[in-house]
Structure 1
Amino acid sequence: MTPRCPNCASFAFLDWHECEHCGATLGYRFSSLSFLQTMDGVATEGDETWRHCANRDWGCNWLVADSEDAARCFSCRLSRTLPPRDDTIAWEKLRDTGIAKRRLLVQLAELELPITPFYEQEGGLGFDLLSSFSGTRVMIGHANGIITLDLAETVDDYRETLRVRLGEPYRTMLGHLRHEVGHYYQQVLLRDEAAWDGCRALFGDERASYQDAISRHYAQGAPAGWEASFISEYATMHPWEDFAETFAHYLHITGTLATAAAAGVVLDASRVPGIVEHDVVPLTDYREAGIERMLDDWHWLSLMFNRVNRAMGHRDLYPFTLEPPVVEKLTYVHGLVVGASSTPAAGT
């Protein structure tokens, strides 16, 4: 879905508080994945009235329906733990993390993946948003539905130092969110032992000692030839991480293709003979078109995106190779997503 300004119909970025084309004040309505124009912090449509989230001063641009009897929006209510209010540095970093979190939630809703909040059900989705700059080291991770993030990673030089030290080709806050939510959905979407057996056949047995896997990975690194079977070095550490990394890449790919489709990007093979084999018209949704179409479109679009990045002097946008075993894992994740999409997303 392409977000547009409701006043002038121009394209609007998901994090905008006001339209940069016409100046209209905007609020994002998660239930319809669209913007409403607000006047004095209020928007009315039909019988419903919507108000700005109480955290708007801290960067949130979502709306809250009067019927929800809450001051904070759905995204902000998913934040279980926040830095102390007097930690102004951490709260400043919360702005950028909030943008990434809301972008994740929009993509999950577009894929029609179920979102059950932690405050409604044990094991439901929630976020502990903490900062290593506050004096205590924060470990990014997932446990029983709660995703812990380090707000310090919104600082470019801090995050880049970690990326280089860990030998990662890619490290972003949105990437962390997509990886950790993969852990959450593995627990949510695999509902019985037969489903777990099918997952283990591809990713390995997640019941193997995680602590032993961590020790081995950081002492020895990824095994030789890992590129033939895994999407990343980190995926080799343990079956939990292989699934989460694969799920994250599924979100990377579908999110970028949907953005390209919404922007009207088309690769015309007749204009570049010998480079693109056929016309490529990306889709906003591949649940019906299938994984083969999705990955074929991604092959050609990612080559183009990498060329664009190199033209600007940056690293490749997508510095990963999808070998057949990885494609098989992505196909498995695609099946899970398609199977889950008939379940309405809670909180929307």
Structure 2
Amino acid sequence: MKIFQCQACEQPLHFEHARCESCERPVGYDPLRTDLVALEPEGEAWRAFAEPASRYRLCANAGFGACNWLVPAASGESYCLACRHNRVVPDLSVDWNLVRWREIEVAKRRLFYSMLRMNLPLADRRSDPAGLAFDFLVDPSEAHLLGPPVLTGHDNGLITLNLAEADDVERERRRTLFGEHYRTLLGHFRHEIGHYFWNVLVRHDPCLPRFRAVFGDERADYGLALQRHYAHGPGEGWQEHFVSSYATSHPWEDFAETWAHYMHIVDTLETASSFGLRVEPKLRTGLDLGARIDLDPYRHEFGRLIEAWLPLTFAMNSLNRSMGQSDLYPFRLTPSVIGKLSFVHDRIAARPDSNDSIADTLRALIAGLRQRVASPRYA
């Protein structure tokens, strides 16, 4: 994520801001410009402070305090590029649902920021029955109803997320229960979207034999693989070949975990680059752990990303430990794992790429290391 500034007063802004804290102007995110836009009212619409010819409307979910993305005023859409993929949202008349849903939408918009920067195909359910859609559901037990618990997962383009994952206490309980090093809303989204893009970029692509050579044969029985994983856990020495314990369960989960980590790397490197970070550890001798983080990770070759990432994570983890916190990035990138990350990078890089490709894709949507949906309804 890059740094944003108010175009009216130059105040630094976070991606989630809907109003400048200095000049108090409303701001909104324009995915076509990949920037937060300072706004001035103009009738029932808004115009850009720095570019008065640009007219916008707020996403309909802004009314719930759940979205700060913009819709072109000339568009017939009520929802922004991210929110129009919502299929089911919780009953927002329940205050606790609204609080948790807002947290979910923050993470989802960060997901969409990266996907749009990567120029990934994002069909919705109106244009493709298997297009990307989201159901954000509440466990029946919360309403004292009978029924199975909501399971976070992916099914043919539909990503379901249990609203309880937006509760920090409950999410930490589950992280501990399942013996995970890392569990966040954004991590959930990045993992589940990995399943979606396996279908889109791998399943019917000539790269499938290479996928099987790198990750294993996905035709192995998925249900039995998960049962075996939960009964016996990962095999000995799994850390040399998998980025997480869960990745060992099945090639699909290995790919999704690897995809999520690739998105972690790219987004964090962009942030570090935006801050001009340099890592120059004062070591007597040994490995060169220095790096100048000055790159656009969405456009650089994979090796350059890894060269920057390894020193950065060493520094981040060291800082966290100085604050009495556990490692911010508690994972090992072995040569085998880096090879898998390289596969993900290559699949994304294989998408059409030109100076105007992102803008062209967005306009269309608006209109209709190698080893070195429809509008939301309530439920």
TM range (shorter): over 0.9
Task: Tell me, yes or no, if structure 1 residue 55 matches structure 2 residue 61.
Answer: yes
| TM-fit CA distance, 1:129 | 1.1
Partner of 1:96: 103
For 2:129 and 2:169, the matched residues in 1 are separated by: 37
1-structure distance, mates of 2:59, 2:193: 24
Check conservation: 2:39, 2:46, Cα contact below 8 A. yes
Please report how far the alpha carbon of residue 230 of structure 1 lies from its aligned counterpart in structure 2 after TM superposition: 0.4
Distance 1:235 1:305 in 2: 24
Once the two structures are superposed, residues 181-208 of structure 1 have per-residue CA deviations (whole angstroms, 9 ceiling, x without a partner) of 1111111112645321111111111111
C-alpha distance in 2 between matches for 1:122 and 1:3: 36
Greater Cα shift, 187-196 or 291-300 = 187-196
Q: Please say if residues 3 and 12 of structure 1, whose CA atoms lie closer than 8 Å, have aligned partners that are also in contact.
A: yes
TM-score for both structures, normalised by structure 2 = 0.86
Amino acid corresponding to residue 285 of structure 1 in structure 2: D
Q: Secondary structure at the match of 2:57?
A: strand
* 1:175 counterpart residue number: 187
Give the Cα separation in 2 of the matches to 1:103 and 1:288: 18
- In structure 2, the residue matched to 1:72 is 79
Q: Is the 8 A contact 2:276 2:294 kept in 1?
A: no
Matches of 1:106 and 1:148, distance apart in 2? 20
1:337 matched to 2:344: no
CA distance in 2 between partners of 1:158 and 1:69 (Å): 39
Can you give the 5+ residue segments of structure 1 that lack an aligned partner in the other structure? Answer: none
Structure 1 position 25 matched with structure 2 position 26: yes
Equivalences for residues 242-281 of structure 1 within 5 A: 242-268=254-280, 274=285, 277=288, 279-281=290-292
For residue 291 of structure 1, what is the aligned residue in structure 2?
A: 302
Describe the superposition over 1:25-74 as per-residue Cα deviations: whole angstroms up to 9, x where unpaired: 11111111111222346224465420111211322111111222122222
RMSD: 2.0
Q: 1:162 aligns with which of 174, 178, 183?
A: 174
Shift of 1:213: 0.9
What is the rounded CA distance, in whole Å, between the counterparts of 1:17 and 1:242 in structure 2? Answer: 37
Q: 2:119 aligns with which of 102, 109, 112?
A: 112
Contact preservation (8 Å) 2:26, 2:40: yes
After superposition, what is the alpha-carbon deviation per residue over 1:59-107, rounded to whole angstroms, capped at 9, x for unaligned? Answer: 2111111222122222111111111243332122110100000011001
Change (3 A) 1:341 1:264: farther
Structure-1-length-normalised TM-score: 0.93
Q: Which moved more, 1:245-254 or 1:283-292?
A: 283-292
In structure 2, the CA distance between the partners of 1:249 and 1:191, relative to structure 1 (3 Å rule), is same
Quote the Cα distance in structure 1 between the aligned partners of 2:218 and 2:327.
Answer: 32
Please give the alpha-carbon distance, in whole angstroms, between the structure 1 residues aligned to 2:24 and 2:11. 11
Q: Give the number of aligned pairs.
A: 347
Give the SS at the match of 1:118.
coil
Q: 2:92 & 2:240 partners in 1: Cα distance? A: 47
- Secondary structure of 1:39's counterpart equals strand
- Partner Cα distance (2:293, 2:132) in 1: 31
Kindly report structure 1 stretches of 4+ aligned residues shifted beyond 6 Å.
none
Specify the alignment match of 1:151 in structure 2.
Answer: 163
Q: Which residue does the alignment assign to 2:320?
A: 309
Larger RCO (CA under 8 A, 6+ residues apart): 2
Task: For residue 119 of structure 1, report the CA deviation from its aligned partner.
Answer: 2.1
Contact 2:117–2:298 (CA under 8 A) maintained in structure 1: no
Is contact 2:313–2:329 with CA below 8 Å preserved after alignment? yes
Q: Report whether the alignment pairs 1:83 with 2:90.
A: yes
Whether 1:212 and 2:260 are equivalent positions in the alignment is no
The question of whether the paired residues in 1 share the 8 Å contact of 2:47 and 2:53 is answered with no
Q: CA deviation at 1:20?
A: 1.9
Q: Would the alpha carbon gap of residues 310 and 279 (structure 1) be closer, same or farther in structure 2, given more than 3 Å must change? A: closer
- Alignment correspondent of 1:232: 244
Structure 1 counterpart of 2:36, which letter? F
Q: 1:288 to 1:23 in 2, by over 3 A?
A: closer
CA contact (8 A) 1:90 1:152 kept: no
Structure 2 CA distance for partners of 1:311 and 1:326, relative to 1, 3 Å: same
Q: Flag structure 2 segments of 5+ consecutive residues without an equivalent.
A: 367-379
Check whether the contact 1:36–1:43 (CA below 8 A) recurs between aligned residues: no
In 1, Cα distance between equivalents of 2:267 and 2:295: 8
The one-letter code matched in structure 2 to 1:25 is P
User: Compared with structure 1, are the counterparts of its residues 98 and 25 closer, same or farther at alpha carbon in structure 2 (3 Å cutoff)?
Assistant: same
> What's the CA shift for 1:274?
4.2
Q: 1:170 to 1:122 in 2, by over 3 A?
A: same
Partners of 2:218 and 2:296 lie apart in 1 by 30
Determine the C-alpha separation between the residues in 2 that align with 1:314 and 1:131. Answer: 31
Q: 1:138 aligns with which of 121, 125, 150?
A: 150
